[in-house]
C-alpha cells in the first residue's frame, strides 16, 4: 500500500524529457485498437509513438494506420521490418524503432497493454537521477469470463506478492510488458541489438542498467494487461514458459520457488510444528491456508485500489485453483526445457542465452 497508487511528485514542465514509446506488434486481437488508442491520449507534453511490425502482411498495420489517421497531430511512425540480431523475435521487431528513436528516454509497452492518461508522467517522475529504469507491476483489466478472473487473481496475489517483495529487497524483478529506461545506458551496454540472444530481454535490460550503478524502481500504477484472447490453458502455458526462463537464469529457483508457495510451505510447516510442539498438523495447515488466503485477499484489494470486481466466492475458487495447480505447473516446466513462444521453439541455456530450434 505504501508503494502503489501513490503518484510521484512530477517535475516542472520545462524539466520533462521527451519519451520514445516503442510498441512491438504481431497480429491482432479484439482489444488491440482500444489498447493502442490509449497511447494517443497520454497527458504528457513530449512523446512519440513507434509502432513495429515484422512484415507487410501483418493485419496490425491496418489498425495502426487507422489510429494514425484518426490522430494526425500525434507524433507517430510505423516501422515495417525485422532485423535478425538473435533468436528473440521481439527484439528483432524493435531494433529499427530503437535505432530511429528521437529521445533519450525509451518506453517499451507490449501490444496487450493499456495506459491511463497520467501513467507516463508518473513513470517519468519516478526516473530520478539515480534511477535508470522504471517498470510497472503487471496486473489485469476487468474482462469477461472465469479465465479472466483466474488470471487477475494470479497477478493480484502471487505475482504481486513476489514482485513487491523482490523490489523491496533489491532483487531484479523487471518485466518488459511496460518499462521506461534511459537509452544512453542501454547504448553503453551495446544497444538493443546486444540483447537479441536472450528471450528474457527485460531481465537483462535491468541487469545491464544496474551494473552501471543505477536503480530500477516500480511505478506507482500497475501495468494493465488487456489481451483480447485468453483462456486458462493459454495462461498455464505462459506460466510454464516464465518458470522455464526464470530457472534458466537463476537455477536456485528450482528449489526455492516451490517453497515460497502456500500449499508446499503449509505442508512442511505443519510437519515441523507437529514434530517440535506436538500440534495437530491438520489444524495448523488449515489455519495457515486461511491466514494466507485472507492476506492475499487484502493484497489484491490494495492492488485493485478498491473493492474487487468479483464475488468472494469467485475469488476463493480462482485462488484455490491457482494454489493447487502450482506444483503441477512447476513440474511441467521442468519436464521439458523446450520453450514455445509465438509458434517458435527455443532452448535456453543456463545464463538465459536462447537458441532457436529449427
Residue 1 in this model has a pLDDT that exceeds 70: no
Those residues with Cβ within 8 angstroms of residue 207's Cβ, 6 or more apart along the chain or in another chain: 172
Is 202 catalytic? The answer is yes
Quickly state the pLDDT bin for 13 (edges 50, 70, 90): confident
pLDDT tens digit string along 182-216?
999 999 999 999 999 999 999 999 999 999 999 99
More confident residue, 15 or 276: 276
Q: In the sheet that 138-140 helps form, which strands lie side by side, from edge to edge? A: 113-114, 223-225, 138-140
What is the per-residue pLDDT for 9? Answer: 83
Closest by CA to 134, choosing from 105, 169, 171, is 105
What is the per-residue pLDDT for 241? Answer: 93
pLDDT tens digit string along 227-241?
999 999 999 999 999
What does pTM read for this prediction? 0.95
- pLDDT, mean of residues 20-32: 97
- Residues 33, 124, 217: CA angle, nearest 5 degrees: 100
Q: What is the CATH T-level fold of the domain 13-136+175-230, as seen in this structure? A: Spore Coat Polysaccharide Biosynthesis Protein SpsA; Chain A (3.90.550)
What is the per-residue pLDDT for 229? Answer: 92
The dihedral sign for the CA sequence 240, 246, 252, 256: negative
- Gap between the Cα atoms of 227 and 98, Å rounded: 24
pLDDT tens digit string along 103-130?
999 999 999 999 999 999 999 999 999 9
Quickly state the pLDDT bin for 32 (edges 50, 70, 90): very high
**Could you tell me the residue ranges of all domains in the chain?**
13-136+175-230, 145-165+233-338
Quickly state the pLDDT bin for 256 (edges 50, 70, 90): confident
Question: Lowest-pLDDT range, 77-81, 253-257, 331-335?
Answer: 253-257
More confident residue, 134 or 15: 134
Q: Per the structure block, which three cell numbers stand in for 21?
A: 514509446
Give 357's strand partners: 345
Query: Buried (b) or exposed (e) across 284-300, using 16+ Cβ within 10 A?
Result: bbeebbeebbeebbebb
Please count the other Cβ atoms lying within 10 Å of the Cβ belonging to residue 170: 10
pLDDT tens digit string along 132-179?
999 999 999 999 999 999 999 999 999 999 999 999 999 999 999 999
Residue 249 in this model has a pLDDT that exceeds 90: no
Residue 358 in this model has a pLDDT that exceeds 80: no
Place of cell 510454464: 240
- Catalytic pick among 58, 110, 122, 202: 202
Quickly state the pLDDT bin for 10 (edges 50, 70, 90): confident
Residue 2 in this model has a pLDDT that exceeds 80: no
Looking at the chain, how many residues does it have?
A: 358
Amino acid at each position: 500500500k505504501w508503494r502503489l497508487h501513490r503518484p510521484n511528485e512530477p517535475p516542472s514542465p520545462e524539466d520533462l524529457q521527451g519519451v520514445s514509446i516503442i510498441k512491438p506488434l504481431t497480429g491482432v486481437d479484439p482489444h488491440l485498437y482500444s489498447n493502442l488508442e490509449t497511447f494517443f491520449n497520454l497527458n504528457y507534453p513530449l512523446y512519440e509513438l513507434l509502432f513495429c511490425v515484422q512484415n507487410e502482411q501483418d493485419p496490425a498495420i491496418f489498425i495502426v494506420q487507422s489510429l494514425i489517421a484518426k490522430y494526425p497531430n500525434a507524433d507517430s511512425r510505423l516501422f515495417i521490418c525485422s532485423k535478425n540480431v538473435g533468436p528473440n523475435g521481439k527484439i528483432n521487431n524493435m531494433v529499427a524503432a530503437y535505432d530511429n528513436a528521437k529521445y533519450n528516454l525509451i518506453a517499451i509497452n507490449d501490444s496487450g497493454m493499456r495506459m491511463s492518461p497520467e501513467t507516463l508522467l508518473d513513470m517519468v517522475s519516478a526516473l530520478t537521477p539515480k534511477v535508470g529504469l522504471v517498470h510497472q507491476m503487471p496486473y489485469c483489466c476487468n474482462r469477461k469470463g472465469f479465465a479472466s478472473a483466474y488470471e487477475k487473481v494470479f497477478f493480484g496475489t502471487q505475482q504481486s506478492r513476489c514482485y513487491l517483495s523482490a523490489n523491496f529487497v533489491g532483487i531484479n524483478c523487471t518485466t518488459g510488458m511496460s518499462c521506461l529506461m534511459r537509452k544512453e545506458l542501454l547504448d553503453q551496454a551495446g544497444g538493443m541489438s546486444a540483447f537479441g540472444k536472450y528471450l528474457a530481454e527485460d531481465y537483462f535490460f535491468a541487469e545491464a542498467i544496474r551494473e552501471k550503478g543505477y536503480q530500477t524502481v516500480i511505478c506507482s500504477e500497475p501495468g494493465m494487461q488487456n489481451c483480447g484472447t485468453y483462456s486458462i490453458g493459454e495462461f498455464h502455458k505462459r506460466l510454464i514458459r516464465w518458470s522455464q526462463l526464470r530457472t534458466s537464469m537463476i537455477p536456485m529457483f528450482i528449489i526455492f520457488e516451490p517453497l515460497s508457495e502456500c500449499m508446499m510451505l503449509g505442508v512442511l510447516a505443519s510437519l515441523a510444528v507437529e514434530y517440535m510442539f506436538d500440534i495437530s498438523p491438520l489444524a495448523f495447515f488449515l489455519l495457515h491456508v486461511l491466514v494466507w488466503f485472507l492476506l492475499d485477499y487484502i493484497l489484491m484489494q490494495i492492488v485493485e485500489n478498491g473493492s474487487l470486481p468479483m464475488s468472494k466466492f469467485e475469488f476463493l475458487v480462482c485462488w484455490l485453483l491457482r494454489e493447487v495447480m502450482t506444483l503441477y505447473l512447476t513440474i511441467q516446466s521442468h519436464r521439458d526445457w523446450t520453450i514455445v513462444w509465438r509458434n517458435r521453439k527455443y532452448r535456453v541455456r543456463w545464463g538465459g542465452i536462447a537458441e532457436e530450434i529449427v
